[in-house]
Amino acid sequence: MTPPLILPFMLRHLLLLLLNFPHRNILTGAAAGKWDLLLPSIGISAMHMQLLHTDRVVIFDRTDFGRSNISLPTGKCRNDPSDTTLIEDCTAHSVEYDVASNSVRPLMLLTDTWCSAGAAMPDGTLIQTGGYNDGDHAVRIYKPCRNNSCDWREINPGLKQRRWYATNQILPDGRQIIIGGRRQFNYEFYPKTSLDDESYNLPFLVQTNDPLIENNLYPFVFLNVDGNLFIFANNRAILFDYINGSVVKNYPVVPGGDPRSYPSSGSAVLLPLKNKNGAEVLVCGGAPKGAYVSANNGNFVAALDTCGRIRVDDPDPEWVVETMPSARVMGDMVLLPNGHVLIINGAGSGTAGWEFGRDPVLSPFVYRPDVLIGSRFEVQSSSSIPRMYHSSSILLRDGRVLVGGSNPHTYYNFTGILFPTELTLESFSPSYLGSNFVNLRPLIISPTSQSRISYGRQLIVRFSILSNRINDTSIIVTMVAPSFTTHSFSMNQRLLVLKNGNVTPNGNSTYQIQVITPDSGNLAPPG
């Protein structure tokens, strides 16, 4: 059977590629996928990443690591009397990575971005919020450009509450909701509609707070298809009506009761949304109860090897538990354009936190949501670089996964330690990019990149392909929203499988397929 093809596409800052995805048996053949070292050093550790609609990636860590390994342009220095390490720093703690040229240029942050959050707005501007110290109330704005003239600008204070380890989610009206953070059991919105915009209490964050450990930081937040928010913290979740400030539904505790959010640091994704079939959430890995305290005392307990999967709209929801090929904490979960989930980075024991991770997991897993339970995981080819605390991964427009970071130390530290600060940048190419599928990788003719589309409309996608093995059942079209990724969670990551009609040949190895665009911002927030 010819495996289906996929047409994902980038519209403003959504992603569209045309790819084939193979089905393999985990018990046969060599491990799938391919690793490539892109740059031996980008000068900073990739703690946070966001893909922009210019096909560039903003990457940053924190300003109080000390001097980085990349200088700011001549004559530029940051002078910050509040900085806890260097008052004057002429090195950069943010870079813009150009995918096409495989190069970076330094950017200038003004205040500390340690453990902050963000999301791309409808026009593609990155809004980045919070952090530590003098940056905990800041809003940073990065408006993408193509002439290398753009840089960070800042509104400080721009937030009502201190946001450190918070989560941002784009809403159907284009605003962001900013939820939680260290000792912040509340949420607020950005942009503000007035200077009097307040923050609003969220008792669920109080209920899920483990004393002294927390385990409810960087909550996993997903926009449900009904416009409400699925919010997971610690070991359970709610469906939240943010407009009226009310809980619509309470979900049961994950079987076993172990925490899954920071610092226990599992990861989570909203599984691909298909033709209004309802939403499912997958939560994988993490560290068991007590692991943080144990690691603090030098005992690194094994991470969790289970995933929990739940239907958001089920009237009587229950978690379905699955077992991964091995345990993982501090992993990233990346939605691939073929609807599979890549689980990558992390450790086999310990937790998030300074020096608290051990046993790096070098082999990613692919999770295939639509095959039978028990057969969904496939082990991939290994990297040689441990990606521990403060690593990150994102999907690129060409279908590769960008992988960077790892710094489990208070400062940059490269020698005489178990896991040196990692400044390298890699890519992982899933098996659909293998040479044996070259003839099955189509070239999109239209719509062109940066095209604008409306909700609920018919859209013609035209493409060329070398293979003549094309039929209506072998094509699916997906749209992927690029994420803001940090600390094992990809905020605003989202994949839609579009309803499609017949494939029509146009001659000269070109074809077209008609699809229906999402019908509302509940399915696809603007942007």
Residue ranges of the alpha helices (H) in 63-150?
Answer: none
pLDDT of residue 336: 97
106 HSE (CA, 13 A, CB side): 19
CA distance 308 to 234: 13
Identify the segments of the chain with pLDDT beneath 70. 1-30, 195, 276
Q: How many CB atoms are closer than 10 A to CB 462?
A: 16
Question: Where on the phi/psi map is residue 510: left (φ > 0), alpha (ψ -120 to 50), or beta?
Answer: beta
CB 471 within 8 A of CB 247: no
Helix H, strand E, coil C: the string for 401-447 is EEEEECCCCCCCCCCCCCCCCCCCEEEEECHHHCHHHHHHCCEEEEC
Give the pair of three-digit tokens for residue 62. Answer: 């924190």
Q: For the chain, what is the total number of helices (H) and then of strands (E)?
A: 2, 43
pLDDT of residue 28: 36
Torsion angle of C-alpha atoms 144, 150, 154, 158, degrees rounded to 10: -20
Which of 171-208 are b and which e, b meaning 16 or more Cβ less than 10 Å from the residue's Cβ? beeebbbbbbbbebbbbbbbebeeeeeebeebebbeeb
**What are the sequence ranges of the domains in the chain?**
34-433, 439-517
CATH number of 34-433: 2.130.10.80
What pTM value is reported for the model?
Answer: 0.94
pLDDT, tens only, 382-424? 999 999 999 999 999 999 999 999 999 999 999 999 999 999 9
Which long-range CB contacts under 8 A does 320-325 form with residues at least 24 apart? Answer: 320/373, 321/254, 321/255, 321/256, 322/373, 322/374, 322/376, 322/377, 324/284, 324/285, 324/365, 324/377, 325/365, 325/377, 325/379
Burial class (CB in 10 A: 0-12, 13-18, 19+), 105: middle
pLDDT of residue 2: 43
pLDDT, tens only, 8-28? 444 433 333 444 444 433 333
Strand order in the sheet with 494-498: 19-20, 5-7, 475-481, 494-498, 273-274
What is the three-class DSSP state of 365?
strand
Q: Which DSSP helix (H) or strand (E) runs through 489?
A: strand 489-491
pLDDT of residue 30: 60
pLDDT of residue 258: 98
